[in-house]
Amino acid sequence: MLSLIKRNLLYTLRDRTSFAMSFISVAILIMMYKLFLNNLQISQLKAAIHSQHVGLAGTTMINFWLISGLVVVTLATAAINGLSVLVEDRVSGKQADFMIAGVKPYRMLLAYLISAVILTFITTGATFLAGTIIFVGWSGLTGFSLVAWSQLVGLMVFASLLACLLALPWVAMMKSLQSFSIFSTMVGTLIGFVAGIYLPLGALSNSLQKLVLSLPFVHEGALFKQILMAPSADSFFKGMSAAARQQYDLFFGNRLTDLAGQVISSGASQLYLLAWLVVASLLTILSYYWSQRH
């Protein structure tokens, strides 16, 4: 199976067009951030502290909000593009050749999944590092504790696995490169909206907020924000009321609420994502074996 994983990795890395598609949504988010999201956040912070200046801590906090969004968008798009080899193998007949050669379907499935997870993690990690250096500077990488780094890397690994498991059932049923391309473009365009990244959660209607809060990407985004924004947010809101910080966190999706309006803890979001992982795993197995028979 290791040879299959290596083969899938090399195929995807050689497909530069597919690899570049992972960053289209990132470019859209950066453009929207420059156009109005940055000004929206600054206005909110100025109103919260009754000042015309947000200072270095406020600017750093806003930049890490953007970087969290970049990470979530990259997770979704990189996972789909990392699975492009699956569609290519089906279209070209290579999957049938593998089965004739004695490769079990579950080995092929695991090879596709593992290679996609590796590529998703690498792409997401590179996006985080590049975004931090560009928007915050090298100091942004040294301001986290060892515990924060372990939480960040662990969340990236888990989120990469979940993103690939969520994408695999859809990709497994596609029988043409054209349908895969359409699907990839649609997800890349919509992920920022449905995950509350292009528009803050507080700017959505109550009904849309409830819909969006059911999606795993929103919970991933909140967890990334809580880790990345913690040092600068603690510094910025120092001396202010807890209500001021909570109002900011809820409006921009740093903290989430349940249907009853109660603030959800990070542990609850983690359990929710774990449930999604179990469901996505079952759907992946069912859809892949279904696709092998049709």
Half-sphere exposure of 149 (CA within 13 A, CB side): 8
Which pair of structure tokens corresponds to residue 117? Answer: 């997870």
Using pLDDT thresholds of 50, 70 and 90, give the confidence band for residue 99.
confident
Question: Would you say residue 117 has pLDDT above 70?
Answer: yes
Using pLDDT thresholds of 50, 70 and 90, give the confidence band for residue 103.
confident
Which of the given ranges, 55-59, 100-104, 159-163, has the highest pLDDT on average?
Answer: 159-163
| Mean per-residue pLDDT over the chain, rounded | 85
- Could you tell me what percent of the chain has a pLDDT over 90? 33
Cα distances from 236 to residues 57, 58, 69, in angstroms, run 5, 6, 20
| Amino acid 114: pLDDT | 95
Distance CA 141, CA 128 (A): 10
- Phi/psi at 137 (5° precision): 105, 175
pTM of the model: 0.89
